[in-house]
């Protein structure tokens, strides 16, 4: 869902990573499903896109 929301808002991985305060390679791994995000990371991503954490995990 992270990638779907990012694309919905027209953001690049770099832009979203910068907004969320995480590294772009980490975001890429999350989008591919190569790693499981921590709750704190989900919160950062949700805040960066002004959506709820629930919207990222549904």
2-15 pLDDT, tens digit per residue, is 999 999 999 999 99
Q: What pLDDT score does 58 carry?
A: 77
Share of the chain above pLDDT 70, in %: 100
Find the CATH number of the domain harbouring 25.
1.10.260.40
CA dihedral angle for residue 29, residue 26, residue 28, residue 4, rounded to 10 degrees: 100
> Is 49 a residue whose pLDDT tops 90?
yes
Residue span of the structural domain in which 30 resides = 2-57
The domain tally of the chain equals: 1
| CA pair distance 51, 41, nearest whole angstrom | 13
Read off the pLDDT of each residue in 37-51 and give the average, rounded to a whole number: 97
- What does pTM read for this prediction? 0.91
């Amino acid at each position: 869902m992270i990638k779907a929301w990012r694309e919905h808002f027209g953001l690049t991985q770099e832009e979203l990573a910068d907004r969320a305060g995480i590294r772009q390679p980490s975001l890429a791994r999350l989008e591919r499903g190569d790693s499981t995000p921590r709750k704190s990371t989900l919160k950062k991503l949700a805040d960066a896109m002004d959506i709820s954490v629930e919207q990222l995990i549904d």
